C-alpha cells in the first residue's frame, strides 16, 4: 500500500535539543571567511545578518515549515570551508557547459568564482555578467543585495552573513538577450565542506533574459550547499529562470530563490531537483506591481532514501495579476517527497487569476509524499484554484502499452517519462531540455 503522510514523523525530534541546534548554527557562522577588499562595504550587511544568526537555531520538525524534513543528519557532520579551488580545467566541466552558453557562462568552484573557466565575451553591450568582487561600479548594485523579502529565514540569513562573493547579472533597460546565461556551481568536495553561493539578478524595465543556474558535483561526497538567488524583475521586463540541482547523492542542499515583480513584468521559474540526499528549495515570488505574470514549473525526481522538499510562495499585492504553478514529484524506493505551495491573495489584489497543482507519482510501496497546496484569499473578486493528486502507475495504461508490443518494464518507464516531460518541455534551452529528457527517458526500451 502506498503511503500518503498527513502528519509528521517526530521520532527524531529529541535527538538534538534546541541548545544543540543553536550551538551548531553558531559554529557554521564561525566558519565564514572575510570579504575581499573590493566588497568591504558589504560588511555592514554581513554583520547585521550575523547578529541575527546568533538568535536563531537549526529548525527541527517541531517548526511548522520543517515538520516533514528532519535536519538531524546535518547536525552530525563537522563541516569546513574550502579556502581554495581545485585545479580544474575546461575538460573537467565541459560536459556541463551548454552549447548555447559557451561564451556566456559564469563558473563557481566550491563556491568560489573561477575566471579561467568562465567566459562572457559572447554577451552584447547592455548586460553585465560577472562576479560581485570584480564588478565595475558595484556600489550601484550593492543597494539591491539582501533587500528582497524573506531575508530573515534562517539559512538565508546564514548565507547573507557568510557569503564572500557571488554572481551578478545586470540587464540594461530595453535590452533583449537572445542567448542564455549559464551560472554553473561545481563542487569538487570529497569530504565535508560548506559553501554559500550567492546570485543577484537585476532586469531593468523592458529587458528580457534567459538564466540557467545549475548545481553539479564532480565527485560523490558529503558537503553542504546553502545558496541564495535574488531576482528583481522591473517594469515590463521578462526573466525566464531555470534552476537545476544535481548535487552529490550524499550532499545536503538548501536553496533560496526570491523574485520581485514590478508592473507588467513576467517571471518564469523551471526548478528541477534530482540530486542530494536531503534537498530543500524555498521559492518565493512577490508581485509588487499590477498586471504581473508568474509561471512556476517544478519537478522532483528522487530515489533510494533521498528527501526532496519544495516550499513555494506567490504573494500578490496588486490587482489584475496572474500566476500558474505545477509541481510534479516522482518518488521511488524509500524516498520522501515534500511540497508546500502557498498563494496569498490580500484584499488589494482584486481580479487575480491564480492556479496551482501538485501531482505525485509513487513508484514504490515505501515511497512517501507530503503535499500541501494552500490558498489564502481575502479578495472577493478573484479566480483561484488549487489541487493535488497522488497516484501509482495505472495498470490499465501499462497493459495498453503491452498490447502494442512493449514489454512491461519499458511500458512503465515510458509512463514515468511522459509524466516528467510535461515539466521538462517548458525549459527554453534546447540542449538542456534534451539532456534532462535523456535522464527521464526509458533506457533500452524494447519498442
SS3 436: helix
Q: 360 with 408, same domain?
A: no
Domain total in the chain: 2
Closest CA relative to residue 42, chosen from 163, 153, 154, 137:
163
DSSP for residue 68: T
Q: Where among 392, 417, 432 does a domain terminate?
A: 392
pLDDT per position as a tens digit, 196-209: 999 999 999 999 99
Residues 409, 288 within the same domain = no
Average pLDDT, the chain: 89
Look at residue 399 in the predicted model and tell me its pLDDT: 86
Together in a domain, 336 and 425: no
End-to-end CA distance of the chain: 30
Whether residue 1 has pLDDT greater than 60: no
Model confidence at 444, in pLDDT bands (50, 70, 90)? very low
State how far the Cα of 328 lies from the Cα of 294, in Å rounded to an integer.
17
Strand, helix or coil for residue 87: coil
What are the backbone dihedrals phi and psi of residue 153, each rounded to the nearest 5 degrees, phi first?
A: -60, 145
- Which band of pLDDT confidence, cut at 50, 70 and 90, is reported for residue 9? very low
CB 216 within 8 A of CB 185: yes
- Same structural domain for residues 45 and 133? yes
Q: Considering only CA atoms, which of 61, 45, 47 is closest in space to residue 12?
A: 61
pLDDT at position 114 over 60? yes
The upper half-sphere exposure of residue 424, i.e. CA atoms within 13 Å in the direction of its Cβ, equals 23
- The answer to whether 357 and 323 have CB atoms below 8 angstroms apart is no
pLDDT band at 46 (very low <50, low <70, confident <90, very high): very high
Helices (H) and strands (E) in the chain, counts: 9, 22
Give the separation between CA 443 and CA 294, rounded to whole angstroms. 35
Give the residue among 79, 113, 118, 237 at the shortest CA–CA distance from 172: 237
Question: In angstroms, rounded to a whole number, what is the distance separating the alpha carbons of residues 420 and 110?
Answer: 30
- pLDDT value, residue 334: 94
328: which residues sit within 8 A by CB, 6+ positions away? 298, 299, 300, 358, 359, 360, 361, 419, 420, 422, 423
| pLDDT digits 0-9 by tens, 278-306 | 999 999 999 999 999 999 999 999 999 99
Sequential DSSP letters for 295-309? EEEEEEEE-TT-EEE
Q: Residue written as cell 494552500?
A: 374
Residues 175 and 57 in one domain: yes
User: Do 369 and 418 have their domain in common?
Assistant: no
Residue 372 phi/psi, 5-degree rounding, is: -145, 85
Q: Which residues contact 424 (CB under 8 A, 6 or more apart)?
A: 272, 299, 433, 436, 437, 440
pLDDT at 140: 66
Instruction: Name which of 91-105, 125-139, 322-336, 398-412 the model is least confident about.
Output: 125-139
The pLDDT value recorded for residue 101 is: 95
Tens-digit pLDDT profile for residues 215-268: 999 988 899 999 999 999 999 999 999 999 999 999 999 999 999 999 999 999
- Quick: pLDDT tens for 322-375: 999 999 999 999 999 999 999 999 999 999 999 999 999 999 999 999 999 888
Return the bridge partners of 224, or none.
194, 252
Q: What is the spatial distance between Cα 63 and Cα 282, in angstroms, rounded to a whole number?
A: 15
Whether residues 380 and 407 fall in one domain: no
> 410 and 374, same structural domain?
no
| Beta-strand runs (E) in 332-429 | 336-345, 353-362, 368-377, 383-391
Q: Where are the beta strands (DSSP E) in 247-352?
A: 252-261, 266-273, 278-287, 293-302, 307-316, 322-331, 336-345
Verify that 92 and 69 share a domain, yes or no.
yes
Per DSSP, the three-state class of 99 is helix
Same domain membership, residue 88 and residue 8? yes
What residues pair up with 14 in beta bridges, in sequence order? none
Note down the domain range covering 446: 397-447
Looking at the structure, tell me whether residues 18 and 161 fall in a common domain. Answer: yes
Comparison of pLDDT for 34 and 446, the residue scoring more: 34
Residue 137's pLDDT is 58
Q: Which residue has the higher pLDDT, 38 or 13?
A: 38
Are residues 359 and 296 located together in one domain of the fold? yes
Amino acid at each position: 500500500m502506498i503511503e500518503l503522510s498527513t502528519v509528521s514523523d517526530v521520532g527524531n525530534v529529541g535527538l538534538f535539543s534546541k541548545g544543540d541546534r543553536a550551538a551548531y548554527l553558531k559554529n557554521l557562522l564561525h566558519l565564514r571567511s572575510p570579504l575581499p577588499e573590493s566588497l568591504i562595504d558589504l560588511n555592514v550587511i554581513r554583520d547585521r545578518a550575523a547578529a541575527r544568526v546568533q538568535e536563531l537555531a537549526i529548525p527541527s520538525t517541531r517548526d511548522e515549515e520543517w515538520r516533514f524534513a528532519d535536519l538531524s543528519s546535518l547536525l552530525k557532520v563537522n563541516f569546513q570551508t574550502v579556502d581554495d579551488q581545485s585545479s580544474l580545467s575546461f575538460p573537467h566541466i565541459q560536459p556541463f557547459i551548454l552549447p548555447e552558453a559557451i561564451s556566456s557562462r559564469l563558473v563557481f568552484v566550491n563556491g568560489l568564482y573561477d575566471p579561467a573557466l568562465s567566459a562572457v565575451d559572447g554577451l552584447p553591450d547592455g548586460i553585465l555578467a560577472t562576479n560581485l568582487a570584480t564588478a565595475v561600479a558595484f556600489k550601484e548594485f550593492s543597494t539591491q543585495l539582501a533587500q528582497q523579502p524573506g531575508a530573515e529565514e534562517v539559512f538565508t540569513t546564514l548565507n547573507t552573513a557568510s557569503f564572500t562573493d557571488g554572481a551578478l547579472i545586470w540587464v540594461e533597460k530595453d535590452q533583449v538577450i537572445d542567448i542564455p546565461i549559464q551560472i554553473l556551481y561545481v563542487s569538487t568536495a570529497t569530504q565535508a565542506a560548506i559553501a554559500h553561493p550567492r546570485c543577484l539578478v537585476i532586469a531593468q524595465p523592458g529587458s528580457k533574459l534567459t538564466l540557467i543556474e545549475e548545481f553539479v558535483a564532480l565527485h560523490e561526497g558529503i558537503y553542504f550547499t546553502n545558496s541564495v538567488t535574488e531576482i528583481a524583475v522591473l517594469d515590463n521586463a521578462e526573466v525566464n529562470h531555470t534552476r537545476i540541482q544535481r548535487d552529490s547523492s550524499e550532499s545536503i542542499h538548501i536553496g533560496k530563490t526570491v523574485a520581485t515583480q514590478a508592473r507588467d513584468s513576467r517571471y518564469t521559474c523551471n526548478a528541477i531537483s534530482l540530486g542530494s540526499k536531503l534537498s530543500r528549495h524555498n521559492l518565493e515570488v512577490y508581485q509588487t506591481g499590477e498586471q504581473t505574470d508568474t509561471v512556476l514549473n517544478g519537478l522532483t525526481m528522487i530515489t533510494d532514501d533521498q528527501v526532496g522538499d519544495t516550499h513555494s510562495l506567490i504573494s500578490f499585492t496588486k490587482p489584475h495579476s496572474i500566476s500558474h504553478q505545477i509541481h510534479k514529484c516522482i518518488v521511488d524506493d524509500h524516498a520522501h517527497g515534500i511540497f508546500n505551495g502557498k498563494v496569498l491573495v490580500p484584499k488589494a489584489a482584486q481580479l487575480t487569476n491564480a492556479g496551482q497543482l501538485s501531482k505525485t507519482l509513487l513508484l514504490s510501496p515505501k515511497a512517501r509524499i507530503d503535499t500541501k497546496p494552500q490558498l489564502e484569499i481575502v479578495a472577493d473578486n478573484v479566480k483561484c484554484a488549487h489541487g493535488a493528486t497522488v497516484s501509482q502507475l495505472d495498470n490499465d495504461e501499462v497493459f495498453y502499452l503491452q498490447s502494442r508490443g512493449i514489454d512491461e518494464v519499458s511500458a512503465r518507464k515510458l509512463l514515468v517519462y511522459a509524466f516528467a516531460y510535461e515539466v521538462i518541455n517548458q525549459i527554453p534551452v534546447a540542449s538542456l531540455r534534451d539532456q534532462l529528457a535523456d535522464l527521464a527517458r526509458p533506457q533500452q526500451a524494447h519498442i
